[in-house]
Amino acid sequence: MRVISKARLKQFWELPGHDAAEGPLRAWYTHTSNRTVAWQSWRDVKASFASASIVGDCIVFNVGGNKYRLICRIRYTLQKVFVLKVMTHGEYDQNRWKVECGCFAPPPSSGKTRAARPRQPRRGTRP
């Protein structure tokens, strides 16, 4: 799987008081980004991380002996894991992350819009 982005993990463990998160987050990253990991479904994720949970369109990983929560969005067909948020267990319990991460929001549009085609007159009518 391709993890996007390790920088977000690093930002968290570099915050004052979060240095203990570095080892567990690095271990999660190393496992998940390994070439042999190619999750095709939730079942594959659950086999790798038994304590992971689905919340809306997000996957919540318990990291560091339940001290930290890692919120991700997985796109199996693209083989990408998007890191949305890393937080302490206490921050997770406040539930603000569900809105911040958009776990229950409809998926964004693809960004591809079709060009408007000129309207054709109906048959048998004058233009």
Using 50, 70 and 90 to split pLDDT, how confident is the model at 122?
A: low
Q: 52-71 pLDDT, tens per residue?
A: 999 999 999 999 998 999 99
Number of domains in the chain: 1
Segment 24-53 shows an average pLDDT of 96
CATH of the domain at 74: 3.30.2310
Which domain range does residue 78 map to?
2-101
- What percent of the chain shows pLDDT beyond 70? 83
CB 30 within 8 A of CB 1: no
In a domain, 123, yes or no: no
CB 52 within 8 A of CB 46: yes
In a domain, 114, yes or no: no
Segment 32-43 shows an average pLDDT of 95
In a domain, 115, yes or no: no
Task: Return the number of other C-beta atoms located less than 10 Å from residue 92's C-beta.
Answer: 19
Q: 80-111 pLDDT, tens per residue?
A: 999 999 999 999 988 888 888 888 887 666 55
Nearest to 59 by CA among 70, 67, 48: 70
Segment 42-59 shows an average pLDDT of 95
In a domain, 107, yes or no: no
- Exposure of 34 in the CB half-sphere (CA atoms within 13 A): 10
Please give the mean pLDDT across all residues of the chain.
87
In a domain, 15, yes or no: yes
pLDDT of residue 116: 47
Segment 26-34 shows an average pLDDT of 96
